[in-house]
Structure 1
Amino acid sequence: MAETSILDSTLSLPGSGVSDTVRQDEDRPKVHRVMPGDTLWDIAKFYFDDPYEWYFLQQVNTIDEPVLLQPNTLVDLTLQDAFPLSVLYLYGDAWLIEGGRKVALEQGIAVDEGDIVETGRGASLTLEMSDGARAVVPSNSRVMVNRDGERGIRLILVKGEVESQVPSRQNSGRPYNIQTTSGVLGVRGTRFTVSYGDAAVLSSVYEGKVAVQSQQMSERAQVAAGQGTRISQQGDIDVVGLLAAPQLLSVTSLAGGDLEVLVKPIAPASGYRAQLTRDAQSLDVIADQRSTAPEFIFPELPVGDYYLRVAAVGNQGVVGEYSQRLIPHFSTGVTVTREGDAWRFDWKRQNNTPHKLELAFDKSFDQPLISYPPATTGAVLLRQVPSGEVYWRVVKLDDKGNITSVIDSGLLDASG
């Protein structure tokens, strides 16, 4: 197209002057009115002195055909820089590392180019970029935030893990890479996890694609959704399939606020991972556990609703697909009250979760005086309890009637 179409079109924009040079940021109008023959390539070259910025213009304006623009329509010219990032969610202790000093992070604080963030034990931090991309930094991780090109992001993972969620509209434009000493992973998709330990770099791709390249430049791989990688210290890249999402067998609120999670075992899993979050997107992570057994206990969890997601870990350490469920967590402590000559035991339970109330003179409960499985979810009223000190406990049973856990326990003084 002729350059005059660009120049002429700028005349119709209020407050914008005609110039035969590249527009500076302070002079650049916020929109461009399309003239016949305009293309995103030419618009980007005129306003930004870089025709390849048409990728970003296409994303910002959701334009399907960059060379077939409808005359008289408006093109948004406000390209966003990814910086600064901001702390979207924070749970536990996290710090900004400045000159060897640790400065405590708070929700809403800006994180800029060259900053290093670190999370403490049991903590989780979510960073949000200006275009909506997010990076979740879980417990015991350290990440340096750098630029990648003029508007891209490069997260240097020093230790620990990063889970990235990148808007799909950004995939073909702004660079987004995660770097370790063993390799670089570049986003070609929307959701993936990278963890870095002593032995290798591990990744899991849940949506889209990720380009993987060893630091020695010796190997490259394209990893699709449902796959993961292991990059050795020597630069070897192994691509593996993710294990299927495991089935949740039970989620039980226990006494004292503990939450018990049981997962159906998967072969050939070497372990399991469970996370609790406050949101369905798994950005506000409040607890994260790994276990070699398919069971977890989250201690002293406040009452409320949570999203629980669990995954199986493969033999190479790659975390598999997650299953997710919204769970209510409630107080399950047993309330014991005296009502005349009877004792009332009341606790929250469900019809499909069998329990049993037991009384005994010995706290080992080897020879229970009473072993009563309630037929309903209502309170249990016991009369003619023997005098003296009597131990009690409420236990949870499996389908065969075997005790799986103690819900709550205590001591009755029935002498009065």
Structure 2
Amino acid sequence: MRRWPGLAIALVAGAHGAAKAGETTMDHYTVRAGDTLAMLERTGLAGHGALARVVRINHIRSPRLLQIGQVLRIPRDLLRDEGTWATVETFSGPVALSLRGQPLPTRTGVTIGEGAHIQTGRNGFVTLRLRDASAVSLPSQSDVTIARLRHVLLTGAVEREFTLADGRAHMTVTPMTLPDSTFRVVTPLSVSAVRGTDFRVDYAAADQTAVTAVEEGRVAVDALHTATQAPLAQPSLVSAGLGLAISPHGVGEPTKLLPPPVLEDVGRVQTAAQLGFRVTTTSAATAYRAQISRDAGALDVIAETRQTSPDLAFASIPPGTWFLRLASIDPQGIEGAAESYTFDRYRNEVHGTMGQATQRRHHIYQFKWSGVADGPVRYRFRLWREGQDTTPTVDEIGLHGNALDVRDLAPGKYHWQIASILLVGHRVIESRSPEQSFQIAQPR
């Protein structure tokens, strides 16, 4: 690890990043048919003396000598701009929106702009869609402010900056066709600037650690005294499939993302009150993250968990078909590549009890059961002597009730079980109670 004590970190991807300290950011405008300096001043420049500065910087000797295709260099601070917006595409759980301390309504379709503050609570998730179709997804326990969301009138460039104070952010950035467009994610330790890519930024405020994982595109890492000063070393390029851990002590080396864990028992219907999944462990992973979402891209997440155990548990969710996204986390805290699986969730549980009674010299064995299901069910009761499960003593199918009496069983050891059969469309979803046993002694 290269170490620079007390440094902040800048991540810069693509050719267009933040300006160095003391430098003026230059944007570029390509002259089109019909353009005149007066028109450019009227429609796109701001500030007294702006046109004179543009003429001087570009060595324009005559206002009439603008040529179609000529590229003008224009200081960014001379260009007029206007605010643009982001739209809440999906959200679930506790999500709070505010602007300058005043709460905003949290609902699908609401638009927010510069200065908006977004906080997600435990099991709170939100995805913002920008005007160019880029997406910003914030999982639970995240704190983000939209620091900049501007559209430059003359060049058409868009400038987006998000400040991540805590938590995580997943960015899917539409490739930018205009060279002066920017997309930045700022944490107390890092500035990530991209031209068009799919990447994640995590920042743990308690540990003062930042992690960047690149799924598509590439990111360059500059070490800075502050987020605006000049780099101290050549940037390290982080390509797709690599991640980088950052701390106040320095920048680590790019590390290959761990492969996703493999889900065991794929296709099993989740029928219990609590959802449970098991993944195959890998020696390099120290933890696993799992998210349940309505879509394969995990833009509409409803629940997530991070566990050191390969057994992943979730609270109950509504019935239907869902997506499970799995990723491994390495010792540096870098979340690896992800894999998504579909699974069906239909509650269907049954539990049984047994009692007995005597009636006119007959021994009555009373079996009762109860269940919870997402729809009407039928029951199947099976009772068999030990070692004879293929030829049960009792096998009742299609039961509507919740009890069955069996009379005068011969001595021996018996096993019994209840199956709850739920019909969902043309599918049959069967759940079984735990197998139970009892012993009938020989009479003396």
TM-score by length of 2: 0.62
Q: Taking structure 1 as reference, are residues 123 and 136 closer, same or farther at Cα in structure 2, changes over 3 Å only?
A: same
| Alpha-carbon separation, structure 1, partners of 2:388 and 2:398 | 9
Deviations 1:391-410 (A, max 9, x none): 98779xxxxxxxxxx97569
From 220, 242, 250, the counterpart of 1:227 = 242
Secondary structure in 1 matching 2:33: helix
The answer (yes or no) to whether the contact 1:277–1:287 under 8 Å persists in 2 is yes
1:324 paired with 2:325, answer no
The answer (yes or no) to whether the contact 1:218–1:235 under 8 Å persists in 2 is no
| Alpha-carbon separation, structure 2, partners of 1:248 and 1:234 | 37
Partner of 1:190: 197
| Alpha-carbon separation, structure 2, partners of 1:335 and 1:303 | 20
RMSD of aligned alpha carbons:
4.5
The answer (yes or no) to whether the contact 1:275–1:287 under 8 Å persists in 2 is yes
Q: Taking structure 1 as reference, are residues 345 and 258 closer, same or farther at Cα in structure 2, changes over 3 Å only?
A: same
Partner of 1:6: 33
Secondary structure in 2 matching 1:267: coil
Matches within 5 A, 1:75-154: 83-147=84-148, 150=152, 151-154=158-161
Deviations 1:57-109 (A, max 9, x none): xxxxxxxxxxxxxxxxxxxxxxx978211111111111123444544522212
| Alpha-carbon separation, structure 2, partners of 1:248 and 1:332 | 22
* Alignment coverage as a number of residue pairs: 328
| Alpha-carbon separation, structure 2, partners of 1:374 and 1:296 | 35
Partner of 2:331: 315
| Alpha-carbon separation, structure 1, partners of 2:398 and 2:387 | 12
| Alpha-carbon separation, structure 1, partners of 2:82 and 2:218 | 23
From 245, 257, 273, the counterpart of 1:242 = 257
In structure 2, give the amino acid aligned to 1:131: D
Moved more, 232-241 or 249-258: 249-258
In structure 2, give the amino acid aligned to 1:330: Y
| Alpha-carbon separation, structure 2, partners of 1:110 and 1:260 | 37
Q: Taking structure 1 as reference, are residues 166 and 325 closer, same or farther at Cα in structure 2, changes over 3 Å only?
A: same
| Alpha-carbon separation, structure 2, partners of 1:277 and 1:372 | 44
Higher Cα Rg, which structure: 2
The answer (yes or no) to whether the contact 1:161–1:193 under 8 Å persists in 2 is yes
**Unaligned stretches of 5+ residues in structure 2:** 1-29, 45-65, 153-157, 226-230, 355-364, 374-380, 420-430, 437-444
Matches within 5 A, 1:148-167: 150=152, 151-167=158-174
TM-aligned CA deviation for residue 344 of structure 1: 8.9
In structure 2, give the amino acid aligned to 1:293: S
TM-aligned CA deviation for residue 134 of structure 1: 0.6
Partner of 2:39: 21
The answer (yes or no) to whether the contact 1:82–1:130 under 8 Å persists in 2 is no
Moved more, 259-268 or 140-149: 140-149
Q: Taking structure 1 as reference, are residues 290 and 325 closer, same or farther at Cα in structure 2, changes over 3 Å only?
A: same
The answer (yes or no) to whether the contact 1:184–1:213 under 8 Å persists in 2 is no
The answer (yes or no) to whether the contact 2:120–2:126 under 8 Å persists in 1 is yes
Partner of 1:302: 318
| Alpha-carbon separation, structure 1, partners of 2:162 and 2:136 | 9
Deviations 1:41-61 (A, max 9, x none): 44x75xxx8599xxxxxxxxx
In structure 2, give the amino acid aligned to 1:225: A
The answer (yes or no) to whether the contact 1:255–1:407 under 8 Å persists in 2 is no
TM-aligned CA deviation for residue 244 of structure 1: 1.0
From 211, 216, 219, the counterpart of 1:202 = 211
| Alpha-carbon separation, structure 2, partners of 1:407 and 1:214 | 59
TM-aligned CA deviation for residue 242 of structure 1: 0.3
| Alpha-carbon separation, structure 1, partners of 2:387 and 2:175 | 58
Secondary structure in 2 matching 1:22: helix
Partner of 1:414: none
| Alpha-carbon separation, structure 1, partners of 2:192 and 2:369 | 60
Of structures 1 and 2, the one with the larger relative CO (CA 8 A, separation 6+) is 2
Matches within 5 A, 1:361-380: none
In structure 2, give the amino acid aligned to 1:207: E
Q: Taking structure 1 as reference, are residues 114 and 347 closer, same or farther at Cα in structure 2, changes over 3 Å only?
A: closer
Deviations 1:236-280 (A, max 9, x none): 243211001221112544445432111111121101011111112
TM-aligned CA deviation for residue 184 of structure 1: 1.0
| Alpha-carbon separation, structure 2, partners of 1:374 and 1:261 | 31
TM-aligned CA deviation for residue 177 of structure 1: 1.0
Q: Taking structure 1 as reference, are residues 301 and 6 closer, same or farther at Cα in structure 2, changes over 3 Å only?
A: same
Secondary structure in 1 matching 2:348: coil
In structure 1, give the amino acid aligned to 2:324: L
Deviations 1:171-227 (A, max 9, x none): 955211111111111124421111101331012111111233345244532211100
The answer (yes or no) to whether the contact 1:182–1:235 under 8 Å persists in 2 is no
| Alpha-carbon separation, structure 1, partners of 2:67 and 2:311 | 61
Deviations 1:108-157 (A, max 9, x none): 12111121111111110101111111100110111011227752111110
**Unaligned stretches of 5+ residues in structure 1:** 11-17, 27-36, 53-79, 349-356, 360-367, 396-405, 412-416
| Alpha-carbon separation, structure 2, partners of 1:103 and 1:51 | 35
Deviations 1:283-329 (A, max 9, x none): 11111111001121121111111111101111101000111122222
Q: Taking structure 1 as reference, are residues 410 and 144 closer, same or farther at Cα in structure 2, changes over 3 Å only?
A: farther
